[in-house]
Amino acid sequence: MSEKIIMASSSYSNSPCAACKFLRRKCMPDCIFAPYFPPEEPQKFANVHKIFGASNVSKLLNEVMPHQREDAVNSLAYEAEARMKDPVYGCVGAISVLQRQVIRLQRELDATNADLIRYACNEVPPATSQFGSRRSSGHGQGSVGDQNSGFYFPYNNDHFGDGHDRGEGSM
């Protein structure tokens, strides 16, 4: 971490950090912003300043222990960017969207696992007909997608035993 601060201090001696450039002030060697807002990332500070204010960020950085400052700035930058995209919810909105997506995918996974268990529990046809006429008979038995996919499952779509495929259980 100390190497980064030394590197940052040597790089801003030629060019002010993004914060000082944005605030139109001289970047001093002990600038609290310089290690975390390099001149190559002006939008990072602009977003943080617009949401939290330079004075508040400066106070926060001075109160946080030096080894935690980089994480604090990264959190502020993430929240500021999220607030710019969604002023009402910020990163909470993004978290909510991701949680809903996880729930939806978990339900889909549960349904797929249930289908696999249901298909695995059905009687497997005799080995001679597994890759023979049943697979290519065109009655919906044993393939996923098209009839020539090469994926055979030991089930058919005739749940009622009357020879009619009603489309139930298809993927």
pLDDT digits (tens, 9 = 90+) for 38-89: 999 999 999 999 999 999 999 999 999 999 999 999 999 999 999 999 999 9
**What is the value of pTM for the model shown?**
0.55
| Burial class of 33 by CB neighbour count within 10 A (0 to 12, 13 to 18, 19+) | buried
What was the pLDDT predicted at 121?
Answer: 87
> HEC states along 129-154?
HHCCCCCCCCCCCCCCCCCCCCCCCC
Using an 8 Å Cβ cutoff, are 39 and 9 in contact?
Answer: no
> Which residue is associated with the tokens 């060697």?
29
**Domain boundaries in the chain?**
2-85, 92-121, 125-171
* pLDDT classification of 10: cutoffs 50, 70, 90: very low
Distance separating alpha carbons of residues 49 and 23, to the nearest angstrom: 9
